[in-house]
Structure 1
């Protein structure tokens, strides 16, 4: 909690017009904020800086199961992503993220995603969630 308060204070400090400087920073700042699930910091960086993020930012957000951040990056930036975004969502069984990616992105996934889904499909599991996970991933594999 103390870290979040400190981060918010830092954002407020840098938000004041007399503090914003022209030296710049690197894309590492935004990537690191996304990797640490700091949506507010990513939003601030995009609103106040020009460096942006790298192509791994959405992959990292999916790896951290941060659906809100994945959607925000897609809707508000031009950041690219790779098939890893679906692979990572599959790794953690995030069917909600996978469905959304299938509808909104075209990168697809790799057989790694299907392997993750199969590992999550516990023998004797009668729920349709695991089956649906595999179906979504199969559709993603066909896109490649």
Structure 2
């Protein structure tokens, strides 16, 4: 396996099958993106209130959102990259609101699994440096998302 994934369910609502789906799609995407072995990340499942708190504290937006990613490889001012042989690559953290996942699955008319897989992949691509701040970036990121989801078998109808 390429990724070492630390899954944490703060809601106690995410089934083992749903957690395995997240791990599986992330492993699939890591292979597609040719990540090296021993790459680490965490995925935490939270409720709307917790993701709202995180969004407010770190992004200064006082609202619940669906997924937030914290990329550890983004260098801030005055930070220095630590690189060494045998040191695992630490991508960062993905935080997913299970309440928003359920709401959006219903809103968009597809399965909870499809929405959960989409949000996990979306967060993962952010950790890899993809973004959607402008039309060009959005096209690249969303095309990659769609291709990976379809190849994995989680198309929009899934």
Larger radius of gyration: 1
Question: With structure 2 as the length reference, what TM-score do the two structures score?
Answer: 0.23
Q: Which has the higher helix share?
A: 1
Q: Which has the higher contact order (CA 8 A, sep 6+)?
A: 2
When the two structures are superposed, what TM-score results if normalisation uses the length of structure 1?
0.25
